[in-house]
A and B are shown apart, each in its own frame.
Chain A
Amino acid sequence: MKISRLLLAVIVIGIFYSFFKIFFGIILKQPIPGSLFTMYMFFIIIGVLLVFSFTEQGAKELMSPIKDLLENPEKMMMRNVVFGIVTIFAGFITYQQVKPSFEAPLELRTIHPAPPSNISAYNKSYNLLTLENPFMKYKKEDPEKFKQLIYEGGEVYFKNCFYCHGDKLDGKGHYAHGFNPLPANFMDVGTIAQLQESYLFWRIATGGPGLPKEAAPWLSSMPVWQNFLSEEEIWKVILFLYDYTGYVPRSWEKH
């Protein structure tokens, strides 16, 4: 059976469509944005129609099934059905376009904003570029003491932080579901594993209200921990976070 030229054109367009969907959407997992996709498909359809109707004969052949449907008195029934479907489809598409949308606005915020070079907390000023965890030195000097400090950090964590950041430090504490934005997941490679201890000190001590504007401080439910914890407690809880997750804080390279 000879495939009609029109069907062939539709099949070719279909192949392009599936290729884009499968290759970018499924294999690369980076689907093409809707508006861009519409534009690509527009050019592909134009191109395919141009190729298929390049010669006079070709153009006639391409159009012949449509012409037949429009003119053949025997296909009256079929014609009415096709017209009906096209009409309803057009109405439906228009409705989708004009109906009001009640989707809440998207709120984009920077999760790890650039830190300031100086912060103030505990009525003092800290230089984040040079600030170091005062307890880190015990890792080599006194491993027993270091272990004890980590345990004490764990106590701080489980009295103050785990309601949101979770038993597993995965950001899924038992009250996490009530917050938007969700609490940070420390097990994720994108959080504390990428940060310096001084950054954590800043985020803990000054909390949500201490964030710069691009990070939407009015949304963050992180408490201002300098109101609750001592400096030592914050440094201990930082030791605990790295110990439990197995990550190593970032540091300035020493030459």
Chain B
Amino acid sequence: MKIKNSILVVLAILMVSSTAMAAQGDKENGKKIYEKRCVWCHSKDGTGNGPAAPFLNPPPRDFTSGMYKFKTTQFDEILPNDENIFRMIADGMPDSSMPGWKDILKEKEMWDLVAFIKTFAGLEGKPKKQIDFSKQVKSSKESIERGKKLFIDRCSECHGEEGRGDGGKKLKDDWEARTWPRNLSKPWSFRVNNDPKEIFARITAGIAGTQMPSFADPASKKKLSDEERWDVANYAASLADASKTIKEGSTVVKAKRVSGSLPEKADDPKWQEAEPTNFYLIPQIIAKERFFTPSNNSIRARAFYNDKEIAILLEWDDRTKSIPGDEKAAEVSLDGQVFEDGAAMQFPVTIPEEMEKPYFGMGDAAKPVNMWYWKSGTKDAPQAVKLLNATGFDKKEERNAAKAGLKAEGVYNKGTWRVVMKRPITTSEKDKDIQFVEGKFIPLAFAVWDGTNSEKGSKHTMTTWYWLFLKPEAGVYVYAMPVIVALLVLGGCILTARNSQKKG
């Protein structure tokens, strides 16, 4: 009891002192830190036009507006809570360029920054209208079911029917920057996190400066009651898809051996039997033309093979199906221009025996690479796959895909592309095509294009080298050996006991 009390006292002191710190945040010291650490993106005058700004989406916050996106005060309350600003500084914002600063700044320093940042818009005083979290509806099957109905009615217009941000609307913030509705199946990409409480706050207050409205605004036709907003929050949180989690250190696509035929279609349920591996996609920022503002952030791969063929399934969430020539696609695109969506895989022509691989950026003169490049097609042309060999960034040679037996087929459904690429294990041109071998680690890299996000040519997202591994079927001996050894040991035990008993 005593311990409990003293913990409470300590907590109370901590709470009082942290609010005190907030109140006393030293603006002058905050300014010093700001000028060393923050000006590069947010600029000296707080407008968010620092030197890095043109290369960032989402753009750095304009502090002079006084608008804060992720706050826990009501929609008609301009002031955020100091804790909201503090949290953004301390923890940063995932899937954006804002890092968390708590590893190098002291708590006091971060409160000083809060105090200084507020001066840009002259924010003063305490916010009065807080979001009321007290009527929380615990997540349950029923609540999620109710939330789903409301979500499809109110939210799917932007966030898509299954929450992958594929509503097909072109959204902009108050500064004319492109904004993308959150893909709710990837909780690691949430700016705060996917705790229902945080989602409830976004639904209730909206996201200031963007087209995400408040659903608590009595003037809105879409207004939801407290309980309904909790239901939607519970549903949104339930959309987190664990099979898209990127596991640290997971670098191998393990192809599963099958005796029969390989799945032909991308939506064949048989793919569920192959183990998925997820990878981060990053923009191509290495060679000319560099690309800085991607819309896609991860890709998942699975593979099957048999005696004759290998089939690899690529799945990635893309909010837009980009069909050049299609009017609707043009409406959603960045500047009216639509290119094809695409995906490519890169392999070395020769599987390296030692550590040395071809240069990850399209190979080098000594070590060429194969590229399998699928494109989504235009209004007039169907989707197609190209076979390219390359010996450097701009040294490509197009080859005959059909002759090598390379095939690809993609399906777009509710914000996800699924593309199967298939090729015989071996080909006739052994010096130009990779010849797949069981039980070897084969370098593999990916690239993805979102044509609605002006991605074309060198402007795309990508990975560096990972691995493909054709998993041989475990030989009988893997199971037989342990049984044999166990039986021998048991026999030995019994024999020893017998002998010992006879002697004794």
Contacts and interface: CB of A to CB of B under 8 A. Distances in A.
Interface of A: 67, 70-71, 79, 83, 86-88, 90-92, 94-95, 98-100, 102, 104-105, 107-108, 154-155, 157-159, 162-164, 166-168, 170, 172-175, 177-180, 208-209, 213, 216-219, 221, 223, 227-228, 244
The 5 closest A-B pairs by CB, nearest first: A178-B282, A91-B486, A158-B40, A158-B52, A90-B489
Nearest to A227: B288
Given A167-B40, A177-B280, A218-B364, A79 B489 contact: no
Contacts of A208: 359
B292 A180 contact: no
Given A155-B40, A223-B286, 18 more contacts: A71-B500, A71-B504, A87-B487, A90-B489, A91-B483, A94-B486, A98-B481, A102-B471, A104-B252, A163-B285, A164-B285, A167-B41, A167-B99, A178-B462, A213-B356, A216-B356, A219-B357, A223-B287
Interface residues of B, number: 64
Given A98-B477, A166-B99, A159 B482 contact: no
Nearest to B254: A102
28 contacts: A70-B496, A71-B501, A83-B490, A86-B489, A86-B493, A94-B485, A95-B478, A95-B482, A98-B482, A102-B254, A102-B469, A102-B471, A158-B41, A159-B55, A166-B99, A167-B99, A174-B97, A174-B99, A177-B282, A179-B282, A179-B464, A218-B356, A218-B364, A219-B360, A219-B464, A221-B286, A221-B360, A221-B361
Contacts, number: 150
Q: Among the interface residues A168, A170, A174, which one has the most CB atoms of the partner chain B within 10 A?
A: A174
A70 B285 CA distance: 71
Contacts of B472: 100
B463 A70 contact: no
Contacts of A105: 355, 441
Contacts of B469: 102, 104
Nearest to B361: A221
Nearest to B288: A227
Contacts of B478: 95, 98-100
Interface in B357-378: 357-361, 364, 367
A86 B40 CA distance: 65
Contacts of A158: 40-41, 50-52
A169 to B, nearest CB: 10
B283 interface: yes
Contacts of A100: 471-472, 474, 478
Contacts of B402: none
A94 B285 contact: no
Given A94-B481, A102-B469, A177-B280, A79 B497 contact: yes
A244 B478 CA distance: 56
Nearest to A91: B486
A92 B285 contact: no
B191 to A, nearest CB: 13
Nearest to A176: B282
A174 B100 CA distance: 11
Contacts of A70: 496-497, 500-501
A100 B355 CA distance: 21
A167 B37 contact: yes
B271 interface: no
Interface in B40-68: 40-41, 50-52, 55
Contact of B464 (A87, A104, A180): A180
Given A83-B493, A105-B441, A158-B52, A218 B358 contact: yes
Contacts of B465: 180, 218-219
B360 A218 contact: yes
B355 A107 contact: yes
A146 to B, nearest CB: 16
B96 interface: yes
Contacts of B464: 178-180, 219, 221
B190 to A, nearest CB: 15
Given A174-B99, A218-B357, A219-B465, A104 B490 contact: no
A209 B363 CA distance: 11
Nearest to B486: A91
A223 B471 CA distance: 35
Given A83-B494, A172-B99, A67 B486 contact: no
Contacts of A162: 40, 52, 97
A101 B410 CA distance: 33
Given A87-B489, A91-B483, A91-B485, A104 B251 contact: yes
B237 interface: no
A218 B355 CA distance: 10
B251 to A, nearest CB: 5
Contacts of A92: 482
B90 interface: no
A245 to B, nearest CB: 11
Interface in B228-262: 251-252, 254
Given A67-B500, A155-B51, A221-B286, A91 B482 contact: yes
B355 A216 contact: yes
Contacts of A175: 282-283, 285
A113 B254 CA distance: 34
Given A158-B51, A159-B55, A90 B280 contact: no
